[in-house]
Structure 1
Amino acid sequence: MHIEKVIFAPARGGFFYDDQAAIRAGREMDGVAYLGEPLTPGFTSVREPARALGIGLVLEDGAVVWGDMVSVQYSGAAGRDPVFDPRAIEAVCRARVVPQLIGMEAAAGPDNCARAFAHGDEPRLPLAIEYGVSQALLRAAAHARRVTVAEVVAEALGLPAPGEPVPIFAQSGDDRRNAVDTMILKQVDILPHGLINSAGKFGADGAAFIDYVRWVAGRIEALGAPGYRPVLHFDVYGWIGLGHSDDPRAVAEFIARLAARVPDHTLQIECPVDYGSRAATIENYAAIVEALDGLTDKARIVADEHCNTLADIEAFIAARAAHVIQVKTPDVGDLMDTARAIRAAREAGIGAYCGGTSAETDHSARACVHVALAARASMMLAKPGMGVNEGLTIVGNEQARALAQIAARRS
């Protein structure tokens, strides 16, 4: 079964594209909007609606399989691609990718990804293109073979079809208290993210953040079912470095003290410091990990910034510069590279968080579920959007359906 035609459709992301540099610089919020001028090139305002672009592959039997090209919320930050421009992305896609796709044998999905994204002497394609096109190519293979995308990816990795669910991580957005209640009532595996992205949320020497962590643990105790002990995961967007210290030993001591305040839970801290480059981040995160391991076994460092592509992730793994690595799917590009990154981390004994962004679409989120299952991620993000219920429903239900289909074929 071959690909006969390629079509495009405008799409909406689940949240916004935000100028991280402007937010860190203290741009004031007005309701949901941010006031003031953007700082990152490509942004026309500090907060912009997340736009995406769907790419559909029309197959010989008339079926159309889709993928969504989209970028991350904080585009243009920490070495990431610029903010998403649908017109520019479509133009590049039509010129460089569509001619490669026409006539491809649909069943050869993973191999087709490698062929479609080979760039020779030309610059690498925007990662949003790799991301959306790989979704469509893997779905084409699954359709042609009459299996799930998870089975296609697992076979390409040399792994058996998955049979166990991946723990789900939900994020609160700015509704940082009501969202936690929702997560607890729904017994989410890992929570709450917290969006600690400003001086006010971190507080003087971390006081506001510490209070929030303790409040989350107390709320679990008050509302949670007996024995419910989720992992506590907070993304602090570099604010331990900005608001406390960027010295690796001091960072480790701060996190260890915080972990001691919530002894019933494992504590994960994402992006404790932004050291400004991949090399500096790897060097300092490796030192934080080593120091933290000597202080507690109840806390973990999660790498995100400057850990974008498969090559970046492999460098973090080699240096053991994190306990958990976020494989941030739109930043990685080709979903097969996401699968390879997850497998590499797990083989090295490092946690592999199949992440992504609130700015994604429902369609890209569902595709990522299959990759997380196939590669045996240690956790995956409930996405898109910043609400709890929607992302949890999309990701959780897709996982349950995929596992049910695979189990049915085994019985």
Structure 2
Amino acid sequence: MKITGVHATPGFSGFFFDDQRAIKQGAQQDGFTYDGEPVTDGFDEIRQAGESIIVDIELADSTVVRGDCAAVQYSGTGGRDPLFQAEAYAPVIGGAVADELEGRDATEFLANAELLEELQVDGDRLHTAIRYGVSQALLAAAAEAENTTQTDVMADALGTDPATEPVPVFGQSGDDRYNNTEKMFVKGVPVLPHALINSVEKIGERGETLLEYVEWLTERSQELGPDGYEPRFHIDVYGMIGEVFGAPYDREEVVDYFAGLEDAAAPYPLQIEGPMDVGDREAQIEAMVELREGLADAGVSVDIVADEWCNTFEDVRAFVDDEAADIVQIKTPDLGGIHRSGQAVRYCEGTETRAYLGGTCNETETSARACAHVALATNAAQVLAKPGMGFDEGYMIVENEMRRTIARRNREREQQPTDTDEITADD
């Protein structure tokens, strides 16, 4: 079935764009916003409304499918593409992208998605958010044309056998790290709570505030969780452990702090995302390796998650090859085409590094559902609940999309004729 039209409409995303550099430099919150001037190119305010581009692809039978272009909350920093501005980029999709895709076979998902990866406009590759959103629509178009699930299209493209159970969902609390986390406990969320520890105030001058929070997590999970509940704690510290303690990261003071966090989380496993942010990829890898080796030598079993400077497929490969993390976050909007996220998950296979299919609160329900299919197709270690910071909505969207897809695939397998059925029919 042919693609007959590609259209782009500016829209909103599920959260906000934040100037991470300004926040790390001490910008103070004023209610929901921040006081002060932005320091990252493209920002008019330190916090401003998140934007998306709604991509509609028309097929020859008049069917219309969707994908949503979106970029991460902390755009324009950490080696990422510039701040995503929908009004500026929508004409690119309606122009150069549409010119390339119209008339192509919708069932050729991988070829169509790879075409986007190579396409240049005025000598530059397409913004990662454009490749991300348009490739989602291409995935949906292929599934529609083949009358199958997006999971099956992605699995065929990657050469995988899809998961038969939902991938563990990672809930994120936002700044409401107590109330939202209690909601997660009640629902038995397997991985939680993210917690958004992005300032000295939230971690404590010597890490004491975070330590107290982890102690609370353990106690409250046992009070509110369902019978047999065994959560995995995953906390994103946005480089703040590095801000508080500084290098070298294998020294006794740092290792002892991680040992204290491990004790506070016991008996549950603990993952710390982005322990430091040292300014570029190679230095980040070296710092992460140093920390992992220090923890291993001391017998501290806290897993380290790569986030900062782990954006593209090439970045993921570098962190995995150098064994710089126990887990890598595959930050879906930063990899460009959604198939690249799937390929990044697959790159972790056979290594000591697990793949966390992440992304951002600043996506949409459409991109979140598309990522649920990537998670199933690749059987990732965990997948992020998104969009938004309210928790409930994102968890419902991602979990239900996986359950719905697994149920459909099970029904379709049951309806397939068996060899016995074919023999009976012939007789």
1:175 corresponds to which residue? Answer: 176
**Counterpart-to-counterpart distance in 2, 1:49 and 1:407:** 41
Partner of 2:371: 368
* Residue in 1 that maps onto 2:155: 154
The answer on 1:111 being equivalent to 2:117 is: no
Question: Is contact 1:9-1:55 (8 Å) kept?
Answer: yes
- Return the offset for 1:95: 3.8
Aligned length: 411
TM-score by length of 2: 0.94
On the 8 A contact 1:343/1:375 being kept in 2, the answer is: yes
Say if 2:249 and 2:290, in contact at 8 Å, map to a contact too. yes
Contact 1:15 1:50 in 2 (8 A): yes
Higher alpha-carbon deviation: 196-205 or 117-126: 117-126
Q: Cα gap change, 1:313/1:30 in structure 2, threshold over 3 Å: closer, same or farther?
A: same
Partner of 1:9: 9
Specify the alignment match of 2:423 in structure 1: none
Greater displacement, 230-239 / 121-130: 121-130
Q: 1:410 & 1:153 partners in 2: Cα distance? A: 18
Q: Is 1:154–1:162's contact at 8 Å kept on the other side of the alignment? A: no
Structure 2 distance, partners of 1:218, 1:298, is 20
1:161–1:406 Cα contact (<8 Å) kept = no
Q: State the superposition RMSD in angstroms.
A: 1.3
Question: What is the identity, as a one-letter code, of the residue corresponding to 1:335?
Answer: I
CA distance in 1, matches of 2:243, 2:192: 23
1:67 maps onto 2:67 in alignment:
yes
Counterpart of 2:408 in 1: which secondary structure?
helix
Of the two, which has the highest radius of gyration?
2
2:308 aligned with 1:312, yes or no?
A: no
Asked whether the equivalents of residues 240 and 246 of structure 1 are also in contact (C-alpha less than 8 Å), the reply is no
**2:57 paired with 1:57:** yes
Structure 2 CA distance for aligned equivalents of residues 225 and 378 of structure 1:
22
Structure 2 partner of 1:127: 128
Query: What are the superposed Cα offsets for residues 186-234 of structure 1, whole Å, 9 maximum, x if unpaired?
Result: 0000010010001100111101111111111111122222321200100
Mapped to 2, the partners of 1:63 and 1:85 lie a distance apart of: 28
Closer/same/farther in 2, CA of residues 228 and 51 from structure 1, 3 Å limit: same
Tell me: CA distance 1:253–1:124, structure 2 relative to 1, closer, same or farther (3 Å). farther
Name the structure 1 match of 2:417. Answer: none
Letter in 2 for 1:368: C
User: What corresponds to 2:167 in structure 1?
Assistant: 166
Contact 1:138–1:149 (Cα < 8 Å) also in 2? yes
- SS in structure 1 of the partner of residue 406 of structure 2: helix
Instruction: Give 5+ residue unaligned stretches, structure 2.
Output: 415-427
* Higher mean displacement: 342-351 or 306-315: 342-351
Checking the alignment, whether the CA contact within 8 Å between 1:171 and 1:192 is kept in structure 2 is yes
Give the secondary-structure state (helix, strand or coil) at the position aligned to 1:171: coil
Question: 1:388 and 1:334, CA in 2 relative to 1: closer, same or farther beyond 3 A?
Answer: same
Deviation at 1:113, TM superposition (A): 0.5
Please give the per-residue CA displacement for 1:365-391, whole angstroms capped at 9, x wherever unaligned.
Answer: 000000011011100000000011110
**1:263: which partner in 2?**
266
Residue of structure 2 aligned with 1:288, choices 273, 288, 291: 291
Normalised TM-score (structure 1) = 0.97
> Shift of the alpha carbon at 1:297?
5.7
Shift of 1:24: 0.8
Give the SS at the match of 2:56.
strand
Match for residue 277 of structure 1 among 277, 280, 283: 280
Once the two structures are TM-superposed, the CA of residue 255 in structure 1 deviates from its matched residue by 1.6
> What amino acid maps onto 1:22 in structure 2?
A
The CA deviation at 1:86 is 0.7
Distance in 2, Cα, partners of 1:233 & 1:252: 18
Shift of 1:98: 1.4
Q: Distance in 2 between matches of 1:64 and 1:174?
A: 37
Q: Which residue of 2 aligns with 1:330?
A: 333
For the Cα contact (< 8 Å) 1:14–1:361, is it kept in 2? yes
Deviation at residue 10 of structure 1 after TM alignment: 2.5
Q: 1:333 to 1:112 in 2, by over 3 A?
A: same
* Residue of structure 1 in register with 2:200 after alignment: 199
Matched with 2:88 is 88
Q: In structure 1, list runs of 5 or more residues that go unmatched.
A: none
Q: Is the counterpart of residue 391 in structure 1 residue 394 in structure 2? A: yes
Checking the alignment, whether the CA contact within 8 Å between 1:170 and 1:382 is kept in structure 2 is yes
The whole-number CA distance in structure 2 between the counterparts of 1:257 and 1:168 is: 26
Alignment match, 2:418: none
Where do 1:92-103 residues align within 5 Å?
92-103=92-103
The correspondence of residues 26-65 of structure 1 with structure 2, limited to 5 A, is 26-65=26-65
SS in 2 for 1:175: coil
CA contact (8 A) 1:155 1:161 kept: no
What SS does structure 2 have at the residue aligned with 1:204? coil
Q: CA deviation at 1:361?
A: 0.4
CA distance in 2, matches of 1:257, 1:295: 12
Offset, 1:409: 1.5
In 2, are the aligned partners of 1:13 and 1:52 still within 8 Å (CA)?
yes
Deviation track 1:17-52 (CA, whole Å, cap 9, x = no partner) reads: 000011111111111111111111100000011110
Equivalent residues of 1:150, 1:162 under 8 A apart:
no
CA contact (8 A) 2:385 2:394 kept: yes
Residues 365 and 402 (structure 1), Cα distance of their counterparts in 2 relative to 1, 3 Å cut: same
Paired with 1:336 and 1:17, the residues of 2 have a C-alpha distance of 25
Post-superposition Cα deviations, 1:219-272, rounded to whole Å, max 9, x if no partner, equal 112222232120010000000000122322134442223102222110100000
Letter of the aligned partner of 1:239 in structure 2?
M
Does the 8 Å contact 2:327/2:353 carry over to 1? yes
CA contact (8 A) 1:17 1:73 kept: yes
